[in-house]
Copies of this chain bind each other. A is one copy, B any other.
Amino acid sequence: MRHVLDMKDFSKEEVERLVERALQLKKMRQRPKALRGKFLATAFFEPSTRTKLSFQRAAKELGMKVIDFITEISSLRKGETDLDTLLTLEAMEINAIVVRTRKNEAPKYFAQHLSVPVINGGDGTNEHPTQAFLDLTTLYEHFAKLDLRVAIVGDILHSRVARSLVEGLNKFGANVRLCGPEEFVPKTFPGVELIAHDLREAVKDVDAIYTLRIQKERLEQVFDNVEEFFIEYQINEEILKAAPSHAVIMHPGPINRNVEISDEVAYSKRSLILNQVKNGVYARMAVLEEALRLDETVRSLEESMA
């Protein structure tokens, strides 16, 4: 077995293998049956329909069964820690657990206490590695290479999506630049040379523009007029004139229509947004295989030695 915690735990070769596996799974008519009958638990301590459904879709396609722990309903139960919940799921003979949590690094902590693979479905502002896997899969599918120029635009500071994506792109020598309002972009970022506040400048020679979701529901608790901060950073037809004509548009979803991205761009031919969703299912199939792979090897060894 293997925990899937952070993009930084994966070597370039491993990322390559997973991206290629995702695209291979996409083309197959008959999916592999190795995981048939195994159980995946989805434990989303923070709500997230999109990622959860994508994992459920992926798991079921591989013949896995899914147990969904719904926190909204069970949160009435005070006193039980998140780790207790996961230990309980593990004891129910679940084979792998996807965790979404508000707490940075919590999946790492869970992994230390669990003997089934933990898959990080997003932890606070830290990482969202399966999002990066699907983003890389989508870029590789489109460009057939990953040493690209990519501008990531928006609230970089609070974005686990940005962190995982930069980590992934850097393995391939990509040129990444970050762009957003001063309040929402760190002064330095590991592995990134260019940090800009001028969007036109940032996109002028890129292959891809990756717009982040503005998490209004959270930011509005801290700032008034959240949208004002980002108004100059909306990706729209006007801005695209400053970018190369071959540049594609990406977004992790769900989009705030006409906030960080205009409608006409979100659903244009240059947008890979729905490809990202589609590839998310295949990337997560590849991740599930990876998470349960070593487990299999060990178990079949044990059986042959018994």
A162 to B84, CA, bound (A): 22
A residues 43-61 near B (Cβ < 8 Å) are 47-50, 53-54, 56-57, 60
Contact check, A91 vs B274: say whether CB atoms are below 8 A apart: yes
Q: In this assembly, does A142 line the interface, its C-beta being within 8 Å of a C-beta of chain B?
A: no
C-alpha gap A239/B274 in the complex (Å): 57
Closest to A94 in B: B57
**Contact present for A81 and B257 (CB under 8 Å):** yes
Across the A-B interface, the 4 shortest Cβ-Cβ residue pairs: A79-B256, A80-B254, A49-B74, A91-B277
Contact partner of A84 among B47, B89, B255, CB < 8 A? B255
Cβ of A116 within 8 Å of any chain B Cβ, yes or no, is: no
One digit per residue, 1 when the CB lies within 8 angstroms of any chain B CB and 0 when it does not, for chain A 230-261 equals: 00000000000000000000000111110100
> Is the pair B73, A216 in contact by a Cβ cutoff of 8 Å?
no
Residues of B within 8 A of A277 (CB): 88, 91-92
CB distance from A169 to the nearest CB of B (A): 23
Known: A39-B57, A254-B79. A74 touches B92 (CB 8 A): no
Would B84 and A278 count as touching, CB distance under 8 A?
A: no
Q: Which of A64-72, A188-196, A290-298 lies at the binding interface?
A: A64-72
Say if the beta carbon of A121 comes within 8 Å of chain B.
Answer: no
Q: Which B-chain residue is minimally distant from A220 (CB atoms)?
A: B78
The answer to whether A265 has its CB under 8 Å from any CB of chain B is no
Interface centre among A54, A77, A78, A278 (most CB of B within 10 A): A77
Shortest Cβ distance from residue A27 to the other chain B in the assembled complex, whole angstroms: 13
User: Which residues on A are within 8 Å of B, measured CB to CB?
Assistant: 39, 47-50, 53-54, 56-57, 60, 65, 67, 69-70, 72-74, 76-81, 84-85, 87-94, 216-217, 253-257, 259, 274-275, 277-278, 280-281
In whole angstroms, how far apart are the Cα atoms of A181 and B55 in the complex? Answer: 47
Beyond A281-B92, A281-B93, whether A79 also contacts B47 by CB under 8 A is: no
Q: Are A53 and B254 in contact (CB under 8 A)?
A: no
Residues of B within 8 A of A90 (CB): 274
B255 and A54 contact, CB distance less than 8 A: no
Q: How far apart are the CA atoms of A69 and B50 in the complex, in Å?
A: 9
Contact B92 A57, beta carbon cutoff 8 Å: yes
Contacts of A78 in B (CB 8 A): 216-217, 256
Of the residues B39, B53, B259, contact of A79 by C-beta under 8 Å? B259
Are A74 and B57 in contact, with the CB atoms below 8 A? no
A132 CB to closest chain B CB (Å) equals: 18
- 12 cross-chain CB contacts under 8 A: A53-B69, A56-B67, A57-B67, A57-B94, A72-B73, A76-B217, A77-B217, A79-B216, A79-B255, A80-B253, A80-B257, A87-B274
**A57 adjacent to B280 (CB under 8 Å):** no
Chain B: minimal CB distance from A285 (Å): 11
Residues on B with beta carbons closer than 8 Å to the beta carbon of A73 = 47, 49, 70, 72
Bound: A54/B72 CA distance, A: 18
A286 to chain B, nearest CB (A): 15
